[in-house]
């Protein structure tokens, strides 16, 4: 074999090797340290992620964990959060390109959150509840979304499709209304399918509740969407908050005055959100 053919063969082998190495790294959650994120490590105050107390849901488990940039209620039997709540302010919206961190066990969960390896070869995505895309304004905030208490098994087409579109719409509303409150999670019921050695439950449905409190005028919209491939609009899955409470057993806006709570949770008013 002449030298030119030898170099060509070595180049092909190298390219193929790099391709499979990249696949292995992505599949096994391997991330190499980088300095690229330092410019996004800002002095963002911890209060930037605190959730307005009036909209804080009740916990059915008593395992509330407060992080700097979101709050959650952990369900140990299901090895995931029953809800994650956070404020998405207009000044949180950013397109910063940040390097993907490792997934890490949440040490603030007393019973320890599930290891990310439960998801490996499960056929399900490690779906963020507080999206990483909502926390690109600061690397520490972004990194915090990679705690395993903030993920839940999601069908890939669901995660990359209708759920992603709803997350983008939520950012649109955050910009339009100068900030919104978001509560999201999987519907956790007995006898769900599980994945991994820790038996992480696979929700059949995911919900998202978005509330706006512009000038003291409170409105909310709620979605209950099957965890499967869907091609139709997320508006087809608008429900009342009462319906999500019925499905989850969670009391959401219990700290609001009864008359306000009852009105918001029982009504469906897509028009007030400017459906388009």
The answer to whether 95 and 136 have CB atoms below 8 angstroms apart is: yes
**Helix and strand counts by DSSP (H, E) for the chain:** 6, 11
pLDDT at position 76: 97
Please tell me the pTM assigned to this model.
0.83
pLDDT at position 181: 95
Q: Which one, of 203, 199, 213, lies nearest residue 253 by Cα? A: 213
The answer to whether 270 and 173 have CB atoms below 8 angstroms apart is: no
pLDDT at position 214: 84
Dihedrals phi, psi of 205, to nearest 5 degrees: -140, 150
pLDDT at position 43: 45
Cα–Cα–Cα angle for 141, 83, 95, nearest 5°?
30
Q: Which one, of 135, 169, 165, 170, lies nearest residue 150 by Cα? A: 135
The C-alpha atoms of residue 41 and residue 225 are separated, in whole angstroms, by 35
**How far out from the chain centre does Cα 88 lie?**
12
Assign residue 163 a region (left: φ > 0; alpha: ψ between -120 and 50; beta: otherwise): alpha
Specify burial of residue 15 (Cβ count, 10 A radius: 0-12, 13-18, 19+): exposed
Please say if 156 is a catalytic residue.
no
**Which residue segments constitute the domains of the chain, with CATH numbers given?**
44-273 (3.40.570.10)
pLDDT at position 276: 62
pLDDT in tens, the chain (276 residues): 565 556 666 655 655 655 555 555 545 554 444 445 555 555 444 434 445 577 889 999 999 999 999 999 999 999 999 999 999 999 999 988 898 889 999 999 999 999 999 999 999 999 999 999 999 999 999 999 999 999 999 999 999 999 999 999 999 999 999 999 999 999 999 999 999 999 999 999 999 999 998 888 899 999 999 999 999 999 999 999 999 999 999 999 999 999 999 999 999 989 889 876
pLDDT at position 34: 46
How, if at all, do strands 71-75 and 80-88 pair?
antiparallel
């Amino acid at each position: 074999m002449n030298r030119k053919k030898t170099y060509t063969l070595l180049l092909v082998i190298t390219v193929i090797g790099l391709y499979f190495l990249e696949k292995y790294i992505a599949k096994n959650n391997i991330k190499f340290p980088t300095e690229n994120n330092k410019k996004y490590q800002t002095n963002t105050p911890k209060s930037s992620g605190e959730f307005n107390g009036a909209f804080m849901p009740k916990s059915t488990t008593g395992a509330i964990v407060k992080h700097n940039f979101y709050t959650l209620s952990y369900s140990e039997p299901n090895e995931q959060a029953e809800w994650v709540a956070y404020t998405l302010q207009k000044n949180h919206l950013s397109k910063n390109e940040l390097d993907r961190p490792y997934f890490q066990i949440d040490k603030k969960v007393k019973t320890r959150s599930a290891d990310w390896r439960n998801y490996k070869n499960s056929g399900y995505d490690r779906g963020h509840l507080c999206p990483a895309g909502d926390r690109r304004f600061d690397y520490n905030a972004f990194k915090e979304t990679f705690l395993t208490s903030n993920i839940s098994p999601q069908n890939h087409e669901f995660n990359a499709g209708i759920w992603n579109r709803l997350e983008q719409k939520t950012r649109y509303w955050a910009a339009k209304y100068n900030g919104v409150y978001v509560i999201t999670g999987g519907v956790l019921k007995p006898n769900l399918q599980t994945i991994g050695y820790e038996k992480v439950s696979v929700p059949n449905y995911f919900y998202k509740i978005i509330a706006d409190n512009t000038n003291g005028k409170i409105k909310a919209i709620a979605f209950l969407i099957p965890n499967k491939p869907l091609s139709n609009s997320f508006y087809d899955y608008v429900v009342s908050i009462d319906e999500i409470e019925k499905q989850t057993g969670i009391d959401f806006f219990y700290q609001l005055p009864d008359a306000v709570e009852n009105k918001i949770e029982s009504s469906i008013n897509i028009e007030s959100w400017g459906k388009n």
